[in-house]
Structure 1
Amino acid sequence: MAMTDTGGAGTHTTEPEASDSLRTFGAVVQALREHAGLSRGDFAPLVGYSKHTVASIELGRRMPDDGFVERAETALGNTGVLRRAAQHLSRRPGLAAWFRRWARLEAVASSLATYECRLVPGLLQTEAYARTLFVNQLPPLGDEQIEAQTAARLERQRLLRERPNTAYSFILEEHLLLRRMGGPAVTRELLDHLLELAELRNIELQIMPLVRESHAGLGGPMRLLETRENKWFGYCEGQRGGQFVSDPREISVLQMRYARMRSQALTLEDSLSLLRRMRGAL
């Protein structure tokens, strides 16, 4: 899975920092692909990955797994170049251990719960919304970084549809949609996207109303996940970093707060009704 930021904030990059070896491997893949006369769209089904994943690997933003290397070798002439280059791949030090662990757990979790008060979570973003966040990030990103991070974020969203037995719960503050990040057209597309996702059986989406006299989530965003072994972990993200939570006592506090917020937010039906009214007003 693509290791993008779990919260979706444009200010905290949890995609592996590109190392020279990752960039070099990606450049070799791209050169061989182009030499073979294949576009990314042509190449993607040959290796069994999406076009966005191929882009992330070619730009040095994603560590290719063994399956990609083997299938890319077969598709690009069995020269042995990619197998040899893959032996020397490494990420630049700097990706925090707590996030690497969260990303692995997220990919196999039986349930994921997210409360967000800053922006629409990465799993729910449209391409236009995500790109808006990266374009407005400070310090500014280069064009290549914006493209790579947008592609990585879209790749991560495969979790929602490829893991239909994973239960997803989202609580979003109403003001996130009233802000109209990116303009009315981006917001209109985002609302359509949220309404579509809310129709999936494994996704529950609730809106925390703008006017609320009591609120259990004033401590900030939170994420909770349950593993197949019924173990719970949490993740809390701030401006410049995040905290992986495994202490059962801390998990209990987060669970208590999330449960209270579910009761304070609009019901599933009322949340969808509000999203439809907001969409109609644009």
Structure 2
Amino acid sequence: MGEGVDEAGWDVEPGDEIEPVVQAVGRLLKVCREAAGVSVPELSEAMGYGEDMIRKIERGARIPRPEFLDRADQLLKAQGHLRAFMEDMKRARYPKKVRELAELEGRAVEMLLYGSHNIHGLLQTPEYTRTIFEMRQPALAEDVVERETAARMARKAVFEREPAPTLGFVQEQVTLERPYGGKMVLRRQLEHLLEVAQLRNVTLQVMPTDREEHAGAAGPIEVLKFADGTAIGRSEGAFNGRPVSSPKDLRILELCYGMIRAQALTPRESQAFIEQALGRL
């Protein structure tokens, strides 16, 4: 396995606040390697990664995968010092914007989510997500596709939280019919939607294309509410697309979202609609 295969980690984004931590891990790796009397070429051969990759990690320019640290800890007999940073590197490997979003979703007690172009990220299957990133133009590098897909899948931990947050999703009909990645990818995606819709803390609704009135014509909406009574929201069609947190601005987004839910199919009707769409594939 050479360094052309991006298995050891990802480059650090310039200016990212996790950069000092990654640099500290790199220095620790170098100290442990030298203390063990192991050269970079020797560690490279033992680990199965290119020498340049090892050096980049030691310089703090590369975020090592948790698995890399686990293996290096064993080889260098680091007594758990490298392994202690596995969780930090697990979080650091995702893009900054994704980490920030995951932190907000991890704190939210209620989420109001309306998607108009694609299935919402929290509802996507790995195959659907990968297809979304593979279609980006200009084309993304394979390691970027892998990183973004893994990051989006990690956000789905929100469904495993206790106590479970209340999640409300409204999806445009077209997002259930557009066969990104082919019919088999769409079939699995629709099956997954039906599975998620069975969760007691989830409400899933479909907005039919034939509606003559639509409060969501301006684009997607997201409102995340927290246990302390605060909230944050965003809509492409309001406030220039920037996040808002004032009660006045949030009330506008919630009013719009409430109208969208009222105009959409009921949860039971939506489930039947998805089942019919699945039957047509």
Answer yes or no: same fold by TM over 0.5: yes
Letter in 1 for 2:105: E
Q: How does 1:168-179 map to 2 (within 5 A)?
A: 168-179=167-178
Shift of 1:60: 3.2
Shift of 1:164: 4.8
- Check if 1:156 corresponds to 2:155: yes
* Structure 1 unmatched ranges of 5 or more: 1-15, 38-58
Show the counterpart of 2:63: 60
**Which one scores higher on RCO, CA 8 angstroms, separation ≥ 6?**
1
Paired positions, count: 232
Shift of 1:74: 7.7
Residues 84/273 of structure 1: CA separation in 2 closer, same or farther (3 Å cut)? closer
Distance (whole Å) between structure 2 residues aligned to residue 259 and residue 61 of structure 1: 44
Distance (whole Å) between structure 2 residues aligned to residue 269 and residue 248 of structure 1: 32
Q: Secondary structure at the match of 1:140?
A: coil
Residues 84/276 of structure 1: CA separation in 2 closer, same or farther (3 Å cut)? closer
Q: How does 1:30-45 map to 2 (within 5 A)?
A: none
Show the counterpart of 1:268: 267
The structure with more radius of gyration: 2
- Check if 1:228 corresponds to 2:231: no
Show the counterpart of 1:140: 139
1:220-263 C-alpha deviation (Å, 9 max, x unpaired): 1110011001222102359xx96221122111100000011111
1:97-121 C-alpha deviation (Å, 9 max, x unpaired): xx86554222111101100101011
Show the counterpart of 1:246: 245
Residues 25/193 of structure 1: CA separation in 2 closer, same or farther (3 Å cut)? farther
Q: How does 1:112-131 map to 2 (within 5 A)?
A: 112-131=111-130
Distance (whole Å) between structure 1 residues aligned to residue 162 and residue 127 of structure 2: 24
Contact kept in structure 1, 2:25 and 2:82, CA below 8 Å? no
Show the counterpart of 2:208: 209
TM-score (norm 2): 0.69
Q: Secondary structure at the match of 2:243?
A: strand
Show the counterpart of 1:18: 12
Q: Secondary structure at the match of 2:63?
A: coil
Distance (whole Å) between structure 1 residues aligned to residue 86 and residue 269 of structure 2: 53
Show the counterpart of 1:258: 257
Residues 70/208 of structure 1: CA separation in 2 closer, same or farther (3 Å cut)? same
Show the counterpart of 2:103: 104
Contact kept in structure 2, 1:236 and 1:242, CA below 8 Å? yes
1:174-206 C-alpha deviation (Å, 9 max, x unpaired): 011111111111110000000001111111100
Show the counterpart of 1:48: none
Distance (whole Å) between structure 1 residues aligned to residue 199 and residue 232 of structure 2: 24
Letter in 2 for 1:60: I
Distance (whole Å) between structure 2 residues aligned to residue 74 and residue 61 of structure 1: 12
Distance (whole Å) between structure 2 residues aligned to residue 227 and residue 150 of structure 1: 26
1:46-69 C-alpha deviation (Å, 9 max, x unpaired): xxxxxxxxxxxxx8399x8xxx99
Distance (whole Å) between structure 2 residues aligned to residue 35 and residue 237 of structure 1: 50
Distance (whole Å) between structure 1 residues aligned to residue 126 and residue 88 of structure 2: 33
Residues 182/200 of structure 1: CA separation in 2 closer, same or farther (3 Å cut)? same
1:21-72 C-alpha deviation (Å, 9 max, x unpaired): 549959x6xx99x9589xxxxxxxxxxxxxxxxxxxxx8399x8xxx99999
Letter in 1 for 2:257: Y
Q: Percent identity?
A: 33
Letter in 1 for 2:117: R
* Structure 2 unmatched ranges of 5 or more: 1-9, 30-39, 49-61
Distance (whole Å) between structure 2 residues aligned to residue 135 and residue 23 of structure 1: 31
